[in-house]
Structure 1
Amino acid sequence: MTDSRNGLVTENAWRRLRRYTDARIGLGRAGISLPTSELLAFQLAHARARDAVHFPLDVDRLVESLNSLGEVKALGVPVVLHSRAEDRFTYLQRPDLGRRLSEQGHERLVAAGQAKAPAADLAIVIVDGLSSSAVQNNVVPFLDRFLNDLGRASEGWQLAPLTIVQQGRVAIGDEVGNLLRARMVVVLIGERPGLSSPDSLGIYLTFGPEPGLSDACRNCISNVRPAGLSFDDASQRLLYLIREADRLRLSGVGLKDRTEEVVIEQDRASNTFLTR
């Protein structure tokens, strides 16, 4: 089928499916090549993905936004930390350095953990990861929803001081949670950008965090963003996993996300599916 607008572009019958997905299908062709519009769209998406990896997180703006949330204010001013990767180039070349805190950050959290009594139930760690835009755009609205839901669903939970880690990987949350003496740690991190998702936020839950744990010990909720998994749904899934991790005393491969098998009441205030 030829585009009647200019007679140059041959449309693809699969194009109608693009209303259901951001995947690049049904692009059509101009002669033996891609249409110019599709080629330019691909180059733009590629540039956005590269920018997401290399553009630094605006920590000051993030802290300012977090301080505007009433629930976050109760946790105090976020503690800003850094991994052992001194710069972005080192971070990308040495993933191992992004999994451990700098000496200064380690000492700071040791003091914070010793000063907090009793030990915390949950530590929340914000990490720039591989997409600063994912963190910059999605962490605040997600935490706004999650902390509200957490307050309604589980009274009496003790939260550790909120932390922000620059040049960090997922596993750095295990060290942070351990030093803060938290039973569980939730890591909010920018995921590796895709051509259709440069701003995807990942959420990782670990029970009994300590340095050296493998990915098999963590549960992951992926693609949290307005065009992916909604903040509401992500919050409900995380609350379910936290409750189950607390009940079973574990996380990772032994903890299955069964939220899709449970009938969720429309009235969010009831949080019926979260009750034990």
Structure 2
Amino acid sequence: MADIPDDKPAQSWQSLQQFTAARIALGRAGVSIPVKQSLEFKMAHAHARDAVYSKLHFDELVEAFKQFNLPVVHLHSKAGYREQYLQRPDLGRRLSEESCLHLSGYSAENDIAIIIADGLSATAVNENIIDLLILFLPLLKYANIKPAPICLVEQGRVAIGDDIGSILKAKISLVLLGERPGLSAHDSLGAYLTYNPQPGLTDESRNCISNIRPNGLNLEEAAAKMFYLVQQSLKRQLSGVQLKDDTRAGYFP
């Protein structure tokens, strides 16, 4: 059998590039990939590392939140600094004692606690959260769903919503945070919904909407899916594996 020319496999994959951000059909330069593609890979890796160590733009976010006419509460997990947060995931899941005391002053009956945390990419929050809330919060108002004060959390992971939702006596917690950055997405948000949030819950109690970003699940669809799940969770009084996302692609109420 004749040998296939070096560029033949790459050419056969090139038509698929339009469907994925994955690095396929890069070509070869000897036994390596071409310089251009190699530099692009290194740049993507640098963006991912930067995202992990990025910080929330608190002043800018708080100023932008004023348009929503909701109080904003600044909170912190038990992880004191970024390296500890990365090495001790358990600390990022719990609210610090000082923040617990501070938040207790806002305790009241609420339908939903919206928690915004840096997660593993504060960049994702800084770039996307305002536009997402502009779409999402009016839907809550339309449905007469009462939100608690917006909680802005440093060094927070998904489960920190259990502490916060419990203290605020919220029926639902909705945690919006930066997802672990990949080499094609350093700006991706995740949304995690939990009914009757209480410390000690595990992931089967939550619904997740992932890859929220302009080049992933667009913000309009994400807001629609979040609203649908909130409505269904309140109606059926459950979340997680028992609550399915039955929205159709492109659905927006």
Task: Name the residue aligned to 1:12.
Answer: 11
1:105-124 mapped onto 2 (5 Å cutoff): 105-113=99-107, 116=108, 119-124=109-114
State which drifts further: 52-61 or 223-232. Answer: 52-61
* Off by >4 Å, runs of 4+ in structure 1: none
Residue equivalent to 2:126: 136
Which residue does the alignment assign to 1:88?
A: 82
Counterpart position of 2:25: 26
The code of the aligned residue for 2:111 comes to: D
Q: Distance in 2 between matches of 1:252 and 1:17?
A: 34
Q: What CA distance in whole angstroms lies between the structure 2 residues aligned with 1:225 and 1:36?
A: 29
CA RMSD in angstroms, aligned pairs only: 1.8
**In the alignment, which residue of structure 2 is the partner of 1:274?**
none
Higher strand share: 2
Matches within 5 A, 1:55-94: 55-67=54-66, 69=67, 72-73=68-69, 75-76=70-71, 78-94=72-88
AA partner of residue 92 (structure 2): G
> Cα deviations across residues 199-234 of structure 1 (Å, max 9, x unaligned)?
100000000001110000000000000000011100
The answer to whether the 8 Å contact 2:140/2:146 transfers is: no
Q: Corresponding residue for 1:216?
A: 204
The Cα offsets for residues 47-84 of structure 1, whole Å up to 9 and x where unpaired, read as 000000012222112212222x3xx22x12x1000000
Alignment of 1:1-276 (within 5 A): 11-67=10-66, 69=67, 72-73=68-69, 75-76=70-71, 78-113=72-107, 116=108, 119-152=109-142, 154-155=143-144, 157-260=145-248, 264=251, 271=253
Q: Check conservation: 1:123, 1:177, Cα contact below 8 A.
A: yes
Q: What's the CA shift for 1:150?
A: 2.3
Query: Match of 1:89, as an amino acid?
Result: E
Query: How far is the alpha carbon of 1:2 from its aligned partner?
Result: 7.9
Q: Residue 260 of structure 1: CA displacement?
A: 2.5
- Provide the C-alpha distance between the structure 1 equivalents of 2:125 and 2:54, rounded to a whole number of angstroms: 12
The letter of the residue matching 1:37 is K
Which letter maps to 1:230? N
Q: What letter corresponds to residue 90 of structure 1 in structure 2?
A: Q
Identity over aligned pairs, percent: 49
Shift of 1:170: 0.3
Structure 2 unmatched runs, 5+: none
User: Aligned partner of 1:198: which letter?
Assistant: H
Distance 2:6 2:63 in 1: 52
**Superposition deviation, residue 13 in structure 1:** 2.4
Distance between the aligned counterparts of 1:25 and 1:2, measured in 2? 15
- What's the secondary structure of 2:207's corresponding residue? strand
Instruction: Tell whether the 8 Å contact from 2:113 to 2:172 is kept in structure 1 after alignment.
Output: yes
SS at 1:253 equivalent = helix
CA distance in 1, matches of 2:156, 2:191: 14
* Contact 1:183/1:208 (8 A) holds in 2: yes
Displacement of 1:103: 0.9
* C-alpha distance in 1 between matches for 2:10 and 2:34: 10
TM-score (norm 1): 0.86
TM-score, normalised to structure 2, is: 0.94
Which segments of 5 or more consecutive residues in structure 1 lack a partner in the other structure?
Answer: 4-9, 272-276
CA contact (8 A) 1:12 1:27 kept: no
Q: Who is 1:7 aligned against?
A: none
Task: State the SS of the aligned residue for 2:15.
Answer: helix
